[in-house]
Amino acid sequence: MLTAAAVGAELTLQDQPNLPVTPEQAAADAARCEAEGASVYHLHVRDEEGRPTMSVERFREVSDAIAASSNLIVQFTTGGALGDREEERIAPLALAPEMATLTPGSVNLGDGVFTNPPPLVRRLYERMGEAGVRPEFEVFEAGMIAAAERLAGGAGHHLHFDLVLGAPGAMPAWPDAPGFLAAHLPEGATWSATGVGRAFKPVAAAAIEAGGHVRTGLEDVLHVGPGEKATSNPQLVAIVAAMAESAGRRIVEPDEARKLLGLSSPGRR
């Protein structure tokens, strides 16, 4: 499974002019990502000026546009941008996307703090349960695996994790990190890994080798090589798809990803 983390909340249009921010741009980007092998589209939304927003109406517009142009599993962020209020982070779950991210602990990111106190984590998880939204646990530190297990271990639904490596202030992209962390996931869980910044190719390679799935996209990657800026989400998805295929791994389409993730939604087609 390949996840396209297409937009994020930190990157500006000045840094990355090809960031898909309008519903039309997101729809076109999603279709191209699917064509290159993505099955999941991790979604943040921006306002008309490109600023990050947790507007429910904007999530509705953009996710409807993506659903009309692709069969991708749409996965909303609940992290938002650093400093977003709790109510803003919870609100878009009312739209009942197939998936949403859930970070089961707090972590420094750069000079800021990504704040996820246990009461908020429980609220987000309960809200997802009520709306039929499958969480993807975003693991920035090893202890977050245990926190996710405490939260959802007995819940009886499939558990899926994303191991985030190389974010400044959080777990480094040590070569043995994906294998080490994956070995401590609950029985039967699936996982992807995300290499932030220059870690993107080594982490993708390690995840492919260790039997995991991979997330990449403009949210996570500014440069594809020294001095060479990434041009688009489909470009990044295609790079990882080629790495996976040359390592003998098969890329799955969205409906097969739904089966791997235990999602009941049949998707669009």
In the complex, the residues that contact Zn ion under the rule CB under 5 A are: 77
Contact 53, 47 (CB under 8 A): yes
Q: Which is nearer to Zn ion, 77 or 190 (CB)?
A: 77
Residue (80 or 234) nearer to Zn ion, CB: 80
Minimum distance of Zn ion from residue 136's CB (angstroms) = 10
Q: Which residue is nearest to Zn ion (CB)?
A: 77
Element (H, E) at 123: helix 118-131
CB nearer to Zn ion: give 63 or 77. 77
Find residue 101's DSSP bridge partners: 136
To the nearest whole angstrom, how small is the minimum distance from the Cβ of residue 176 to Zn ion?
Answer: 25
Given a contact cutoff of 8 angstroms between Cβ atoms, the answer to whether 27 and 68 are in contact is: yes
Enter the tokens of residue 168. 């400044």
H/E stretch holding 74: strand 73-76
The smaller minimum CB distance to Zn ion, of residues 69 and 77, is found at 77
Maximum Cα–Cα distance across the chain: 47
Shortest CB 204 distance to Zn ion, Å? 17
Task: Identify the burial level of 39 via C-beta atoms within 10 angstroms of its C-beta, where 0-12 means exposed, 13-18 middle and 19 or more buried.
Answer: buried
Whole-number minimum distance, CB 44 to Zn ion, in Å?
5
Distances (CA, A) of 250 to 21, 38, 263: 30, 12, 20
Q: How far apart are CB 250 and Zn ion at their closest, in Å? A: 26
Q: What's the closest the beta carbon of residue 126 comes to Zn ion, in angstroms? A: 21
Which residue in 156, 95, 146, 94 sits closest to 121, CA to CA?
Answer: 146
Between 88 and 255, name the residue whose CB sits nearer to Zn ion: 88
Q: Which is nearer to Zn ion, 39 or 77 (CB)?
A: 77
